[in-house]
């Protein structure tokens, strides 16, 4: 039994999490919030990136008295190698997710789709045209086969550049060529990076860091972009959709099933199966009123975007959801699923079911989807959850009531349509609004939550400040869910919380001031939106010119490291809420904050609180506006103490 958190509201911010964490404390359940207390003393060497355990002459750690490892590697080499390996971890996670989807597309094209099909033929044909694949007069299977093969080549290409990079603005592609970071196939980038970081290979920190950006580009413009495009083809391109978010979406009288992780395939099937009349009948026969399917993390974002399935919570609510005692089954797949879940679930009747062949968890029951009969197989899983309903202990149930309405589903196609209408879908109105300074700029706020800081607090405080100052906010991942729980993903929020210029634009179009663009792989949608802005004209001819910035306030995963890196390599400045593990090398730190400006026209900024992040972001946007010559001076004043006190919006 670890130390339980004392003042709950120092850990979590939303009412539902506060209530659930109190319940966990009262019932002596360990969660990440109690475990983080036992992990307060962090290893300084790990934190600064100067611990090397790449070979067995080590582990070595760098100090002023021991400036070299046994092999002679210095701090810069060790820090850069560790950083590159983090980027590889993140890139691999996104790419492997993308690969599964491409293989699914290929199988469907070959008539072996099981219960899966191509739901969005228009997206398929549109995507084929992007790659100059002939589509007119051809069946969707034929097109899908050619497209899937092309995507698979983006994984396996040895000496050809990644085809998907051709979707970036031309100037950006030239930058990548000139800086020699144009990626080859994704798999090669990953393997080569692991080779280069092996003992005794690449020792020049600049060379290692450039490889990190090159690998990250194979994520953003490769694995992630492909995952998003294929998800849209298979499951439908998102359109604005209403739903609710937070633990209050769970229903006491229903069988509650929560899907958690990242891959949309099984959860898509569960979404369909949970509405089948025979399944609902089955739930009623077991004494429930119906079935509630809800999501956590990015699996939640995937089915929210396409079906309006409610969101139970973001990353740090996964254990709290189980603590409600009202979940019959939590279905997990890959990434961001805590190994502690079965342990938490022991105190309740909740069954944790793992579903990916590459992701098993001790204490979870493993379920393999019968791909040839996917729909029936999904129904079987739901029936199993229904059986668990009878085991629920009503005395242990405590579902917090808090939830907020939201609108999600802002794919680039949807935004274009909303801006311009069906017959003249275009980004023109957005570009105009930016040029006329009704919108000051655009911020893509992405990433996780992290128990080392108060959950969602930084993200939501910063978001509030930005929209109040006419910055349009684009969101994905757990940061988007944080906004959902705060209630700012609604058009009404624009009326109450946005500055006058942004409000006017949101009102005219009918959009929220914060646009939910999907899961973390859908950060590729933010790159796509940025590219649309460039192509539309008037705001420069590269991503490094447009008044846009990326922000990862409460990030924790290697995926976030890769995402931050591909944003910067794409020319978009990135503000981080806490630093990478690179502080142990001045040379690497200088490279990451200064030298890369020369290479990519963007760099990293670390801002440890929302106020400094806000000021930094406004400054970055201001400079970009200035360079574009669209800076009709605004009467923006620096904050005085009174404004600062009002910060808690
Ligand atoms: Ni992104 Fe999504 Fe959330 Fe972070 Fe994890 S769920 S992929 S990594 S924690 S935002
Ligand atoms: Fe030590 Fe060098 Fe081996 Fe790293 S690679 S553990 S620095 S000897």
Express as a percent the part of the chain with pLDDT over 90.
94
Instruction: Say how many Å lie between the CA of residue 311 and the centre of ligand 1.
Output: 14
Q: Check whether 410 has a pLDDT greater than 50.
A: yes
Is 506's C-beta closer than 6 angstroms to any atom of ligand 2? no
Higher pLDDT, 198 or 421: 198
pLDDT digits (tens, 9 = 90+) for 371-395: 889 999 999 999 999 999 999 999 9
d(CA 125, CA 557) in angstroms, rounded, equals 34
Domain count, the chain: 4
The answer to whether position 240 is within a domain reads no
187 and 152 part of one domain: yes
Q: Which bound ligand lies closest to the C-alpha atom of 200?
A: 2
Ligand 2 centroid to residue 80 C-alpha, Å: 13
Same domain, 183 and 305: no
Q: How confident is the model at residue 608 (pLDDT cuts 50, 70, 90)?
A: very high
Which residue's CA is minimally distant from atom 6 of ligand 2?
58
Pocket test for ligand 2, best of 55, 56, 195 (most atoms within 8 A of CB): 55
Average pLDDT, the chain: 95
Pocket test for ligand 2, best of 71, 78, 585 (most atoms within 8 A of CB): 71
**pLDDT reported for residue 645:** 57
* 264 and 372 housed in the same domain: yes
The encoded tokens of residue 251 equal 């229903």
Instruction: Choose among 499, 502, 463, 507: nearest CA to 484.
Output: 463
pLDDT for 37 beyond 80: yes
Predicted pLDDT at 371: 87
Residues 206 and 290 in one domain: no
Locus of tokens 């975007």: 305
Name the residue at shortest CA distance from atom 7 of ligand 1: 520
Residues 288, 374 within the same domain: yes
Residue nearest to atom 1 of ligand 1 (CA): 520
Q: Domain check: are 81 and 45 in the same one?
A: no
Q: Are residues 494 and 522 in the same domain?
A: yes
**pLDDT tops 70 at residue 643:** no
Give CA–CA dist 256/248, Å, rounded. 12
The token pair at 432 is 């105009």
* Last residue of one domain, picked from the residues 170, 201, 235: 235
Question: In this predicted model, what pLDDT tens digit does every residue of 157-167 receive, in sequence order?
Answer: 999 999 999 99
Q: In the prediction, which pLDDT does 6 show?
A: 86
Distances (CA, A) of 505 to 209, 217, 297, 518: 40, 33, 30, 22
CA pseudo-torsion sign 236, 241, 244, 245: positive
Nearest to residue 592, comparing CAs of 190, 186, 600, 403? 600
For the chain, percent of residues with pLDDT exceeding 70: 97
Query: How much distance in Å is there from the Cα of 77 to the middle of ligand 1?
Result: 29
Asked whether the predicted pLDDT for residue 2 surpasses 90, the reply is: no
**282 phi and psi angles, rounded to 5 deg:** -60, -40
Higher pLDDT, 564 or 1: 564
Nearest-angstrom CA–CA distance, 220 and 632: 34
Which bound ligand lies closest to the C-alpha atom of 74?
Answer: 2
Q: What residues does 575 pair with on adjacent strands?
A: 551, 605
Residue 634 above 90 pLDDT? no
Contact 436, 430 (CB under 8 A): no
Find all residues with CB under 8 Å of 509, minimum gap 6, and list them. 418, 419, 429
**Domain assignment present for 321:** yes
DSSP state for residue 607 in the 8-state scheme = -
CA–CA separation, 532 and 427 (whole Å): 7
Query: How would residue 5 be classed by pLDDT, with cut points 50, 70 and 90?
Result: confident
Q: Say whether both 355 and 296 belong to one domain.
A: yes
Is residue 638 pLDDT above 70, yes or no? no
Atom of ligand 2 nearest to the CA of 53: 6
Atom of ligand 1 nearest to the CA of 556: 4
| Alpha carbon distances (Å) from 407 to 297, 422, 455 | 17, 20, 22
Residues 470 and 591 in one domain: yes
| pLDDT over 50 at 299, yes or no | yes
638 inside domain: no
For residue 571, count CB atoms less than 10 angstroms from its CB and return exposed for 0-12, middle for 13-18, buried for 19 or more: buried
Output the residue whose Cα is nearest ligand 2's atom 4. Answer: 52
Reported as a single tens digit per residue, the pLDDT across 72-125 is 999 999 999 999 999 999 999 999 999 999 999 999 999 998 889 999 999 999
CA 300 – ligand 1 centroid, Å: 11
User: Which stretch of DSSP H or E encloses residue 406?
Assistant: strand 404-408
Return the pLDDT at 198: 98
| C-beta separation of 2 from 34 below 8 A | yes
Residue 327: inside a domain, yes or no?
A: yes
203 lines ligand 2 (CB under 6 A): no
Sheet holding 404-408, edge to edge: 365-366, 351-354, 329-332, 255-260, 291-296, 311-313, 241-245, 404-408
Strand runs labelled E in 75-184: none
Instruction: Choose the residue to mutate in 94, 312, 336, 550 for probing ligand 1, maximizing ligand atoms within 8 Å of C-beta.
Output: 336
**Burial of residue 641 (number of CB atoms within 10 Å: 0-12, 13-18, 19+):** exposed
Q: For residue 636, what pLDDT is reported?
A: 46
| Cα dihedral 546/175/575/98 (nearest 10) | 100
Q: Take atom 2 of ligand 1 and give the residue whose Cα is closest.
A: 298
What DSSP character marks residue 137?
A: T
Would you call 29 exposed, middle or buried from its count of C-beta atoms within 10 A (0-12, 13-18, 19+)? buried
Note the pLDDT of residue 335. Answer: 98
* Ligand 2 center to 364 CA (angstroms): 37
Which residues does residue 407 pair with via DSSP β-bridges, in sequence order? Answer: 242
**Cα separation of 97 and 100, whole Å?**
5
Q: Which two tokens stand for residue 130?
A: 């992007």
Task: Report which secondary-structure segment, H or E, holds 145.
Answer: helix 140-156
E-assigned strand segments in 39-161: 51-52, 60-61
Domain span at residue 14? Answer: 8-54
pLDDT at position 424 is 82
Residue 635 confidence (pLDDT) above 50: no
CB 296 within 8 A of CB 259: yes
Half-sphere exposure of 430 (CA within 13 A, CB side): 30
Closest listed ligand to the CA of 57? 2
Q: 541 phi and psi, to 5 degrees?
A: -120, 30
pLDDT tens, 482-540?
A: 999 999 999 999 889 999 999 999 999 999 999 999 999 999 999 999 999 999 999 99
Give the DSSP H or E segment for 428.
Answer: helix 428-435
CA of 452 to the centre of ligand 2 (A): 30
pLDDT higher than threshold 50 for residue 648: no
Nearby residues of 485 by Cβ (< 8 Å), 6 or more positions away:
14, 16, 245, 246, 313, 314, 402, 404, 456
Would you state the structure tokens that stand for residue 419, as one six-digit string?
Answer: 């801006």
Q: Which of 579, 567, 554 is nearest to 219 (CA)?
A: 567
Same domain, yes or no, for 439 and 574? yes
Task: Name 483's bridge partners.
Answer: none
- Residue that is last in its domain, among 209, 235, 261: 235
Pair (471, 368) in one structural domain: no
The answer to the question of residue 357 being in a domain is yes
Question: Which bound ligand lies closest to the C-alpha atom of 199?
Answer: 2
Kindly list the distances between the CA atom of residue 614 and the CA atoms of 2, 333, 483, 499, 549, in Å, as whole numbers in the listed order.
37, 36, 16, 15, 11
Least confident of 1-15, 113-127, 305-319, 432-446: 1-15
Ligand 1 mutation target, pool 337, 455, 520, 567, most atoms within 8 A of CB: 520
Environment class of 69 (CB within 10 Å of its CB; exposed 0-12, middle 13-18, buried 19+): buried
Determine if ligand 1 sits within 6 Å of the CB of residue 298: yes
Question: Are 564 and 571 a contacting pair, CB within 8 Å?
Answer: no
| Residue 62, in any domain of the structure | no
Say if residue 59 is preceded by a cis peptide, omega within 30 of 0: yes
How distant, in Å, are the alpha carbons of 9, 227, 569 from that of 578? 21, 28, 19
Residue 325 lies in a domain: yes
Which CATH number fits the domain that encloses residue 342? 3.40.50.2030
Answer for the pair 8, 25: CB distance below 8 angstroms, yes or no: yes
In a domain, 413, yes or no: no
Query: Looking at the structure, do residues 384 and 436 belong to the same domain, yes or no?
Result: no
């Amino acid at each position: 039994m670890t130390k339980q958190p004392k003042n709950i509201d120092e850990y979590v911010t939303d009412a539902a999490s506060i209530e659930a964490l109190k319940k966990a404390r009262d019932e002596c359940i360990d969660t990440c919030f109690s475990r983080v207390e036992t992990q307060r003393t962090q290893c300084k060497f790990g934190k600064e990136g100067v611990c090397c355990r790449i070979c067995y002459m080590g582990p070595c750690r760098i100090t002023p008295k021991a400036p070299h490892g046994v092999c002679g590697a210095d701090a810069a080499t060790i820090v850069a190698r560790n950083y590159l390996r983090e980027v590889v971890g993140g890139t691999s996670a996104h790419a492997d997710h993308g690969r599964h989807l491409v293989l699914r597309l290929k199988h469907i094209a070959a008539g072996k789709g099981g219960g899966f099909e191509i739901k969005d033929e228009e997206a398929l044909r549109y995507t084929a045209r992007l790659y100059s694949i002939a589509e007119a007069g051809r069946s969707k299977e034929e097109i899908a086969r050619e497209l899937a093969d092309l995507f698979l080549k983006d994984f396996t290409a040895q000496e050809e550049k990644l085809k998907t990079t051709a979707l970036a603005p031309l100037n950006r592609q030239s930058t990548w060529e000139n800086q020699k970071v144009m990626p080859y196939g994704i798999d090669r980038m990953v393997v080569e990076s692991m080779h280069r970081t092996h003992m005794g290979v690449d020792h020049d920190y600049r060379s290692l860091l450039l490889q990190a950006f090159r690998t990250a580009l194979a994520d953003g413009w490769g694995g992630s972009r492909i995952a998003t495009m294929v998800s849209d083809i298979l499951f439908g391109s998102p359109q604005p959709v209403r739903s609710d978010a937070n633990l209050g979406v769970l229903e006491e009288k229903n069988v509650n099933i929560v899907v958690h992780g990242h891959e949309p395939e099984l959860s898509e099937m569960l979404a369909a199966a949970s509405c089948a009349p025979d399944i609902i009948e089955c739930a009623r026969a077991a004494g429930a009123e119906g079935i509630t399917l809800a999501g956590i993390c990015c699996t939640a974002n995937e089915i929210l975007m396409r079906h309006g399935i409610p969101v139970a919570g973001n990353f740090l609510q996964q254990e709290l959801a189980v603590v409600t005692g009202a979940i019959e089954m939590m279905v997990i797949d890959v990434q961001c699923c805590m190994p502690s879940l079965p342990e938490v679930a022991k105190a309740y009747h909740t069954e944790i079911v793992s579903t990916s062949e590459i992701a098993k968890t001790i204490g979870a029951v493993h379920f393999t989807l019968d791909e040839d009969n996917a729909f029936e197989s999904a129904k079987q899983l739901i029936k199993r959850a229904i059986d668990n309903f009878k085991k629920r202990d009503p005395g242990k149930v405590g579902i917090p009531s808090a939830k907020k309405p939201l609108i999600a589903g802002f794919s680039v196609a949807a935004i274009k349509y909303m801006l311009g209408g069906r017959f003249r879908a275009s980004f023109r109105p957005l570009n105009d609004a930016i040029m006329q300074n009704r919108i000051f700029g655009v911020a893509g706020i992405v990433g996780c939550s992290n128990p080392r800081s108060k959950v969602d607090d930084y993200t939501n405080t910063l978001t509030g400040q930005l929209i109040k100052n006419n910055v349009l906010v684009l969101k994905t991942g757990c940061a988007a869910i944080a906004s959902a729980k705060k209630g700012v993903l609604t058009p009404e929020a624009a009326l109450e919380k946005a500055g006058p210029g942004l409000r006017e634009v949101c009102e005219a179009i009918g959009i929220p001031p914060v646009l939910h663009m999907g899961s973390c792989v859908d950060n590729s949608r933010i790159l796509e939106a940025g590219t649309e802005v460039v192509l539309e004209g008037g705001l420069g001819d590269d991503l490094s010119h447009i008044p846009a910035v990326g922000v990862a306030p409460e990030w924790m995963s290697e995926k976030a490291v890769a995402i931050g890196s591909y944003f910067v390599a794409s020319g978009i400045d990135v503000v981080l809420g806490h630093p990478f593990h690179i502080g142990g090398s001045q040379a690497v730190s200088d490279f990451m904050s200064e030298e890369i400006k020369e290479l990519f026209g963007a760099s990293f900024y670390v801002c440890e609180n929302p106020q400094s992040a806000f000021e930094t972001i406004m400054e970055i946007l201001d400079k970009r506006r200035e360079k574009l010559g669209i800076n009709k001076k605004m009467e923006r004043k620096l904050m005085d103490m009174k404004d600062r006190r009002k910060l808690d919006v």
